[in-house]
Chains A and B, each alone.
Chain A
């Protein structure tokens, strides 16, 4: 009886300590995640300019969205950017990681160089690339001129406004490259040795060992890539200010303008929810498709 009572108080005490320890995260979850999500859902059904109190308008914001050509434009820009840049980054960073995974002299130096651009995202980099893509005096058009062509009017012609932003993103793939590299180094070498004994060539080894063993990492990079790409903001804001003629009006930029330039907090919230649903749809598709192509080692063991 006595021991049972003692056990009770001890586990209670532990639970109490547990809640105290978890309290920053729990409060953060309430104040900066769950609370705002609920508030955002509410505001999306209101008209709210901060100065006067929110006015309930039902589905008006969402209906307005449907007729808003700028909204469709921002969606088009964001999806185009994502559809091109996400797979491109995924492949390029994988190729770089394979290259950097080689066990050769000086590889540490190359790894350091290849990751370097990733440590300085943001304004400075956007300014640098804006200058590099300057149509008249920039580095890129100079290089294109060297091989005898005339470079396009980057940022000035609508069709040539998005590509520089995509190329700039490619320069900073270091983050996902490192994730791949960590994944590659986690693949047991005995798998390759066994394959070699069975007479599998390098290509077969890549296809049947590297890719399946790396698939959880590809999955991770794909998900984070989609979430990141659909929320691009700084590049559009700094390099092009959404122009020319809204050719780089990313969704978050349009959201920002509605919220903080036009003070349409309700409309901005509705925009945020639509963006959220799009991101959710994409991630769900990837998640649902994952059993077909993502291979977890744990599953292999349990299948035996």
Chain B
């Protein structure tokens, strides 16, 4: 009788012990995996930085030395002077800024129509728009090229910029979802005060949708900055190249070995804006705000 009560009162304690122990164990296990994963992700970066600071002769030393001695900081300057990267960066900036402006304007403007204004056929148009997200860009690539070629726009920035002013299905969808969450009362009172629909879009919807605008802006920046295929197709003159395109030529021909230390320095330079932007706006990414519309 006595013993049985003792074990009965002991059992939950032991179970609790083992439970907190197993929780601790799983915590340690998680940390081990997280640290291992982080190493796998960061080692390529370390390798990139390491290579970019080596002497040309040391790049092809095997086994590799991780810490270049001494670090060749001037590689960065050299990469910059061998190729007119400043000029290519400027090209990229012009394109990115105009694409961002176009995307933000056209997507928020259209999204307001899709979310708030009743018009016959609206939902059908929206469904078609969503369906086009499934369409591989390979199908439209050739005819759009031929179209811009007819207009004489090949080898200008226009084919890279103009389409952005006509909306992007996914971003329109995202903004529409966001607009639908904004209460009608604000609009109604503005309308009573004599505000037009366009005024409501500009003075109420746009300022209120700052989070989604920032998200779309950041994604547009990264997508355009990293885009390779569109500039490859449209920009033929050397001085019109974007940074990403210039980088691909920098690696040299398939046969000749490139100057890898300079190539890695240039690559680091090309990814720097995206990485910086990422760290500045990491909340947007890491909080997963972008994907709140996905489940619906």
Given A40-B142, A99-B33, A145-B63, answer yes or no on A24-B278 (Cβ-Cβ < 8 Å). Answer: no
Beta-carbon contact of A123 and B228 below 8 Å: yes
What distance in Å separates the Cβ of B270 from its nearest Cβ neighbour in chain A? 5
Task: Give residues of chain B (257-296) contacting chain A, Cβ–Cβ below 8 Å.
Answer: 260, 263-264, 267-268, 270-271, 274-275, 277-279, 282, 285-286, 288, 290-292, 294-295
Contact indicator B172/A25 (Cβ below 8 Å) = yes
Partner of B30, one of A99, A131, A269: A99
B72 within 8 A of A: no
A11 in contact with B106 (CB, 8 Å): no
Does residue B184 face the partner (Cβ distance < 8 Å to A)? no
> In the complex, A55 Cα to B146 Cα: how many Å?
15
**Would you call the interface of chain A mostly helix, strand, loop, or mixed?**
helix
List B contacts of A108 (CB < 8 A): 286
Contact between A24 and B166 (Cβ–Cβ < 8 Å)?
A: yes
Q: What is the CB-to-nearest-CB distance from B36 to chain A, in angstroms, rounded to a whole number?
A: 10
Closest to B229 in A: A233
CB neighbours (8 Å) of B30 from chain A are 99, 102, 104
User: Which of the segments A58-66, A156-164, A178-186 contacts the partner chain?
Assistant: A178-186
Q: How far is the CA of A27 from the CA of B109 in the complex (A)?
A: 13
Q: In the complex, are the beta carbons of A279 and B149 less than 8 A apart? A: no
**B34 CB contact (under 8 Å) in A19, A110, A280:** A110
> Is there a chain A Cβ closer than 8 Å to B119's Cβ?
yes
Which among B105, B107, B226 is the interface contact of A120 at CB below 8 angstroms? B226
Structural contact, A123 and B113, CB atoms closer than 8 A? no
- Given A29-B129, A131-B264, the answer on whether A36 and B140 have CB atoms closer than 8 Å is yes
Which partner residue on chain B sits nearest A269 by CB separation?
Answer: B142
Q: Which residue of chain A has the shortest Cβ distance to B169 in the bound complex?
A: A25
Indicate if B211 sits at the interface (CB-CB under 8 A): no
Residues of chain B lying within 8 A (CB to CB) of residue A210: none
Interchain CB contact under 8 A, A131 and B260: yes
Per-position 1/0 for A262-297, Cβ under 8 A of B: 000100110111011001100100000000000000
Q: Measured between C-beta atoms, what is the minimum distance from A106 to chain B in Å?
A: 8
Instruction: Verify A113–B44 contact, CB threshold 8 A.
Output: no
Q: B286 and A123: CB pair below 8 A?
A: no
Q: Mark B22-51, 1 if CB is under 8 A from A, else 0.
A: 000001001101100110111110011001
- Interface stretch of the complex, out of B5-13, B74-82, B93-101, B130-138: B130-138
B291 touches A179 (CB 8 A): yes
Instruction: Report A's interface with B, CB cutoff 8 A.
Output: 11, 14-29, 31-37, 39-40, 43, 50, 96, 99-100, 102, 104, 107-108, 110-117, 119-125, 127-132, 136-137, 139, 142, 145, 171, 178-179, 181-183, 185-186, 216-217, 220, 223, 227, 230-231, 233-234, 237-238, 241, 243, 251-252, 255-256, 259-260, 265, 268-269, 271-273, 275-276, 279-280, 283
5 cross-chain pairs, A with B, having the tightest CB-CB distances, nearest first: A28-B166, A21-B113, A18-B119, A18-B117, A182-B288
Not counting A50-B149, A273-B139, a sample of 17 additional A-B residue pairs whose C-beta atoms are within 8 angstroms of each other reads: A18-B118, A24-B107, A36-B143, A37-B139, A39-B143, A40-B143, A102-B30, A104-B30, A108-B286, A115-B285, A124-B271, A132-B47, A182-B288, A216-B295, A217-B295, A223-B134, A279-B134
